[in-house]
Chain A
Amino acid sequence: MGEMPIIDREKCQGCGLCVEICACGALKMVGEVIEAVEVEECGWCTLCELVCPYGAISCPFEIVCEDNPD
């Protein structure tokens, strides 16, 4: 499984929008802080990144080339 959305604690205001939008339960409010927990179901929909008003969540894509012509 491994990688999960990255939360920038300095930018996060704890508004909880990401928790509301996350369909797989990967984001949880712990006290006043959002935490990402590993869940099998996270399909990297990136909606949490999209909804965050503070730009506090990043869902980076790794770009890989598998088609190397001869």
Chain B
Amino acid sequence: MKKIVQTDEPLAKDQVIRLLLTLQEDAVSAINESSDTPDILKLTWLGKNSEFLKLASSMRTAKPDDKQQIGAVLNGVKIAIENALATKQQSTYTAKNEEWFDTTIPGERPPTGHTHIVTQAIEEITSIFNRLGFTRVRHPEVDWDWYAFTSLNMPESHPARDEWETFFIDSIGKNEKSKKVVLIPHTSNGQVREMEKGNLPIRMINIAKCYRRQIDVSHTPMFHQFEGLYIDKNVSIAHLKGVLDYFAKHFFGADRTTRIRPFHFQFTEPSFEIDISCGICHGKGCKLCKEGWLELGGAGMVHPNVLTSGNIDTTVYNGFAFGWGVERAYMMKANTNIDDIRLLYSNDVRFLTQF
């Protein structure tokens, strides 16, 4: 590499240009032949102490007329050197790519944790109903028996109260409507609580923990229930059917349908039981479902007495409500193989980490 002789005199334009062009030649061939890395080469030829920068600084003392020409040459030289460096970079990569590399090494997995099945089911159910304009809310698990029963057209000592095998809480005083406190056996306590908020129309889903004095292969004393409430003007059974079918198709599969049959709840009239078509035989009947249909939950048109409990004018508004168990619905999804609900509350990591 030729070194420039240091002088104190400013260099003439032609001299500068000649030196620049020579530099370009030297730099490009040096870069191509060198075994240094592109980073080091860049530092050498374009860095702080490089010849290029020294020549570039001569621009400062050049005559104004010469500046343009020198500038153009400078630019050209810079580009040429940079191109040479880029080519060098490329060939370095190519060299790297030709080395042997084991592509079958195990990946570095990010940490794997698990949300509980019930959380996953709740999320899925909520998002399906969000699309229909139903907002998720949450109401108390420990409630006055007025909300859990009386407001729902079940006065004290009504036989219908027996159907839920309710847990009672030791007396803690009373409020103006109730004497007793219960662990809610169903999420329907949320119906009048929601109505009391005073906002109409209502499209809500309430998902909460429920409690019943029962334990066996399909019951646990604590479980989750999911309840929808729709109050508006001129609500029809047809609307209820439409909503149920929408849910079934999105949660269980596009090939599934629902049907409703007569039933009785004190807080709805008419009342229904909801069935869903079997995923295996689609309603024809098979070993798994026996009749082609599986029971999903209950529903009905809200009873006028319930609307009245919630201070809603029954001559203007009506509505429907529906509800079922979250665990049960999840277990009914095809292929989960969970045959005992108690597994979900066993808190055994060997179970939890499977989902």
Partners in one complex: no
